[in-house]
Amino acid sequence: MRALAMTVAALSLGVAGCSLGDDEDGANGEPTTVQRTTRVEVIRDAPNATAARFDPAAIYERVGPGVVTVFSVFDRGPDAREGSGEGVGSGFVISESGEIVTNAHVVTDGEGGDLKRAEDVYVQFADGNQVPARIVGEDPNADVALLRVQRGGLTLRPLSFGASREVLVGAPVAAIGSPYGEPQSLSVGIISGVDRSIDSLTGFTISGAIQTDAAINRGNSGGPLVDARGRVLGVNSQIRSTGGGGEGVGFAVPVDTVRRSVAALRREGKVEYAYLGVETAPVYPQLARRFGLGTSSGAWVQAVSDGGPADDGGLRGGDDRERFQASTYDVGGDVIVRLNGRAVRDPDDLSQALQSVAPGDEIPVVVIREGRSRTLSITVGERPAETE
């Protein structure tokens, strides 16, 4: 997905716009004190904006100045044909202190344990100012990164976050970013699906992703997907394409996931995830009847990682492969129906329930085993850098 979400181009990365120094020489050669000021413009939610009053021009005017282009310079190492490479993506301002959200894959190279940060990152604002940025931290499991710029001399337009519960299929949305390096580009569409699973940079999935038919192309990565009121619903991250361009199937990391990542990156510079160590399959009524699972929904455990938290806690995986309808299953494992007090209807619910748990926590896990309910006590671990 990385190749689809980022483009490499020959870009001039000279810093333009306001100097961030304190003093400059005046016309007579005497040092002149230059006072750098920061202007923060608060974006208010459109008061009566609804789906019926979706106004792309008004959204763009209100939100566009808070969207930025992110340039990254990577050191490819001595074995690469070229010593360095450049990438371009998008991002958006979230605070008056100069914080900017983008995708982790925009400012990193590689995957899993081989992930490396860009050597240099620059942010270009809508008014033409282009300044260096520092990577505060990245969350490869959610494909989110937090940047910070020195705010002196800049006009900052922080965007406001919405909430994942407000994401509805059919609702109009707008995507703003820098497709193919073309800054401040607007595309519009609708939310065409919710609760999708997309790949992260670690091999684990990002649950709850938003699907949209708003055109998302290379370079849009890291930009905001906003609603009629200009609130961020997600961070545009991936496209599904056979030709490399936007074909009506784009995906955004959901805003609740982004909030969690940003909060942890501010505090610690990293994000920890609880780890159970299972592979699961969704349960549906026909599958449940065929294999006598005892429940018509849940996360059916197919395999358990040897020596992992689930294995140590007594969770059982399947041991006999059988085919049903269009899939093959490992039969005989437990079905997880509740984790730490939260209902689990499918594997996505299981992933989201684990986000509310910290590594090292001992939690109750309710399973259906041989048609009967039982509760296991499992101490969760910390998610590894990549899947095995």
The CATH architecture one would assign to domain 1-19+52-271 is Beta Barrel (2.40)
The CATH architecture one would assign to domain 274-382 is Roll (2.30)
* Tens digit of each residue's pLDDT (9 = 90 or more) over 178-196: 999 999 999 999 999 999 9
CA separation for the pair 57, 77 (Å, rounded): 44
pLDDT reported for residue 195: 92
pLDDT band for 324, please (50, 70, 90 cuts): very high
* Tens digit of each residue's pLDDT (9 = 90 or more) over 188-226: 999 999 999 999 999 999 999 999 999 999 999 999 999
- State the catalytic residues: 105, 143, 221
* Tens digit of each residue's pLDDT (9 = 90 or more) over 346-361: 999 999 999 989 999 9
Dihedral angle computed from the Cα positions of residues 38, 39, 40 and 41, in that order, rounded to the nearest 10 degrees:
-170
Domain ranges for the chain? 1-19+52-271, 274-382
**86 — phi, psi (to 5°)?**
-125, 145
- 372: how many CB neighbours lie within 10 A of its CB? 8
* Tens digit of each residue's pLDDT (9 = 90 or more) over 12-69: 333 223 322 333 344 444 443 344 556 666 565 555 555 558 999 999 999 999 999 9
pLDDT reported for residue 208: 93
CA separation for the pair 212, 84 (Å, rounded): 34
User: Is 377's pLDDT higher than 80?
Assistant: yes
pLDDT reported for residue 86: 86
pLDDT band for 245, please (50, 70, 90 cuts): low
1-19+52-271 and 274-382 have identical folds: no
pLDDT reported for residue 240: 83
pLDDT reported for residue 112: 87
Helix (H), strand (E), coil (C) string for the chain: CHHHHCECCCCCCCCCCCCCCCEEECCCCCEEECCCCCEECCCCCCCCCCHHHCCHHHHHHHHHHHEEEEEEEEECCCCCCCCEEEEEEEEEECCCCCEEEECHHHHEECCHHHCEECCEEEEECCCCCEEEEEEEEEECCCCEEEEECCCCCCEECCCCECCHHHCCCCCEEEEEECHHHCCCEEEEEEEEEEEEEEECCCCCEEEEEEEECCCCCCCCCCCEEECCCCCEEEEEEEECCCCCCCCCCEEEEEHHHHHHHHHHHHHHCCCCCEECCEEEEECCHHHHHHHCCCCCCCEEEEEECCCCHHHHCCCCCCCEEEEECCEEEEECCCEEEEECCEECCCHHHHHHHHCCCCCCCEEEEEEEECCEEEEEEEECEECCCCCC
* Beta bridge partner(s), residue 374: 367
* Tens digit of each residue's pLDDT (9 = 90 or more) over 246-285: 667 999 999 999 999 999 999 999 999 999 999 999 999 9
> Environment class of residue 377 by beta-carbon count within 10 Å: exposed (0-12), middle (13-18) or buried (19+)?
exposed
pTM of the shown model: 0.83
pLDDT reported for residue 286: 97
CA 376 centroid distance within chain: 32
User: Is 11's pLDDT higher than 50?
Assistant: no
pLDDT reported for residue 17: 30
pLDDT band for 387, please (50, 70, 90 cuts): confident
Residue percentage of the chain with pLDDT more than 90: 76
pLDDT reported for residue 197: 92
pLDDT reported for residue 127: 95
pLDDT reported for residue 20: 27
Single out the residue of 329, 347, 337 nearest to residue 286, CA to CA: 329
Mean residue pLDDT of the chain comes to 87
318-337 average pLDDT score: 96
